[in-house]
Amino acid sequence: MSREVVLGRVRAALAAARTQGAAHGTAAAPMELPALPAAGTLADPVGLFVERGRAVAATVEVCASADDAAAQAAAWLAARGARRLVAWDDPAIWAVAAQLAARGFEIAGPGAPVDVVAQADAGLTGAAWGIAESASLVLPADPRRPRLFSLLPPLHVAVLRADRIVADLPAWFARLAEGRPGGAGLPGAGAGAGTALPSALALVTGPSRSADIGLVPVQGAHGPMDVAVLVVMRP
């Protein structure tokens, strides 16, 4: 179906609605987005994130520091036979990546060829935000934070600062609307970035899964089969 046909049908439907409204002496109601529910607050957003994350088959560990996160990441990766990683160029993971490299893990950064990314055992990323209600990670995309690094390797390790966890989606939208420095509140985006959004923001909840074929759930169908989120209490 052509674009012109689709748009023609939309215009015809709108005209019919206006005509019907005029016949009944009423004007067509303007199209508006539904109002968001009020942003939630939580006494322990980290605790809820951990609980919900484990409920969707992710490994979620609370780490006292970046050193602790590196040790947890090394153990998790080694248990799965992973040695080759691709990693974002993100301040949130620099310390973890450096320690993993010192432990003998091979790490490629942004700019790595696609075949290198495809052959990597795991992707190491940060996360701009965490949504406690659903245990979702908000992953930005830009040249320093390639989307493929969290999508193509079979394993994904995400380092998430505890102070970046909010209660729910309305709370996240509210934080974005505040216009905080750093471009969508992204760690390490740099001063003066304003409120500019990255090229994409993906919300990822646990390992990839799909039930498209035969309504049979399959984990790792079109993304990482296993995900570890390391929540760092003290950067």
Q: What average pLDDT does range 24-42 have in this prediction?
A: 66
Residue ranges of E strands in 76-184: 84-87, 106-108, 122-125, 129-131, 136-141, 155-161, 165-166
More confident residue, 174 or 24: 174
Q: What average pLDDT does range 77-88 have in this prediction?
A: 98
Distances (CA, A) of 141 to 46, 99, 219: 24, 24, 24
pLDDT of residue 46: 97
Residue ranges of E strands in the chain: 59-65, 84-87, 106-108, 122-125, 129-131, 136-141, 155-161, 165-166, 200-204, 209-210, 218-219, 226-234
pLDDT of residue 182: 40
* Assigned architecture for domain 45-210+217-234: 3-Layer(aba) Sandwich (3.40)
**pLDDT tens digits, 150-204:** 999 999 999 999 999 999 999 998 888 776 544 344 544 433 334 567 888 899 9
In contact, 126 and 164? CB cutoff 8 Å: no
* Other residues' Cβ atoms within 10 Å of the Cβ of residue 70: 23
**CA 117 and chain centroid, separation:** 19
Q: Is the pLDDT of residue 113 over 80?
A: yes
pLDDT of residue 181: 41
In contact, 105 and 74? CB cutoff 8 Å: yes
What is the strand order of the sheet 122-125 is part of? Answer: 59-65, 226-234, 155-161, 122-125, 84-87, 106-108
pLDDT of residue 155: 97
Q: What average pLDDT does range 109-126 have in this prediction?
A: 97
- Percent helix, percent strand, percent coil in the chain, to nearest 5: 35, 25, 40
Of the ranges 28-37, 57-66, 128-137, 179-188, which one carries the lowest mean pLDDT score? 179-188
Distances (CA, A) of 175 to 54, 143, 210: 25, 24, 31
